[in-house]
């Protein structure tokens, strides 16, 4: 009788060990940290200003050999495409760059028509910064139609120490900094949509700390 019980116990132990060995890889896989995936920038506005780090698609009408995809804007702000070794892209909108490339290609082909599309907006000029009393102060990729509410939510919301109604949106216009006051607490807690201002690439949202 004792030998029979011992054999049963041994089989149970062996089965449990085998089950653990089978389950271990699944458990190990479940505990792996998921990779961080960059957020897409989304479509850019018509007046978007190209900057270093952006990636462009260049289409030359009826000239597929001159068209190129995924053209990087180098740190010096220039790009290189067939027949155009170096052309300044930074500081121009896609339309302005296309017109400049029309002129440059006009030396080689008849009546060129260039269309420039921003495939990936990665430059500092394409981001909106949020600093101060938010959960995650950071630079957020700009997309067309973005508002201060989008920015605050992307940054994790306000901290308990934030003076939301004293927030301000700083924007460079013609080399000068303009300040727009935003009552974030009224927007978030009171639903005052008049405070949900649209942001522009390069804007900085500043959320100060409450004095009380």
Q: Which CATH class is domain 125-207?
A: alpha beta
What is the per-residue pLDDT for 43? 63
pLDDT tens digit sequence for 78-119:
999 999 989 999 989 999 999 999 999 999 999 999 999 998
Contact 108, 91 (CB under 8 A): no
Measured between alpha carbons, how far is 130 from 152 in angstroms, rounded to an integer? 8
Do residues 92 and 100 lie in contact, with contact meaning Cβ atoms separated by under 8 Å? Answer: yes
CA 119, CA 55: separation in Å to the nearest integer? 6
Indicate whether 124 pLDDT > 80.
Answer: no
Query: Residue 8 has what pLDDT?
Result: 45
Radius of gyration of the chain (CA): 28
d(CA 71, CA 77): 12
- The domain 55-121 is placed in CATH, from the list 3.30.1950.10, 3.50.50.60, 3.40.190.10, 3.30.70.1290, at 3.30.1950.10
The domain locations on the chain are 55-121, 125-207
Class of residue 63 by CB neighbours under 10 A (exposed 0-12, middle 13-18, buried 19+): middle
Token pair of 192 as six digits: 């005052």
């Amino acid at each position: 009788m004792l030998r029979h019980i011992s054999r049963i116990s041994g089989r149970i132990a062996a089965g449990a060990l085998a089950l653990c060995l089978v389950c271990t890889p699944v458990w190990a896989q479940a505990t792996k940290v998921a990779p961080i995936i960059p957020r897409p920038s989304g479509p850019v506005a018509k007046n978007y200003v190209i900057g270093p780090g952006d990636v462009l698609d260049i289409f030359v009408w009826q000239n597929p050999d001159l068209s190129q995809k995924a053209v990087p804007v180098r740190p010096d702000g220039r790009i290189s495409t067939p027949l155009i070794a170096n052309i300044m892209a930074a500081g121009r909108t896609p339309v302005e760059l296309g017109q400049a490339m029309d002129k440059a290609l006009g030396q080689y082909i008849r009546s060129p028509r260039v269309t420039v599309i921003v495939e990936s907006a990665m430059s500092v000029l394409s981001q909106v910064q949020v600093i101060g009393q938010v959960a995650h102060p950071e630079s957020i990729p700009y997309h067309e139609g973005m508002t201060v509410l989008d920015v605050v939510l992307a940054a994790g919301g306000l901290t308990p120490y934030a003076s939301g109604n004293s927030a301000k949106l700083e924007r460079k216009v013609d080399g000068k900094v303009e300040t727009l006051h935003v009552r974030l607490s009224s927007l978030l807690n009171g639903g005052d949509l008049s405070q949900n201002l649209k942001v522009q690439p390069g804007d900085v949202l500043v959320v100060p700390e409450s004095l009380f």
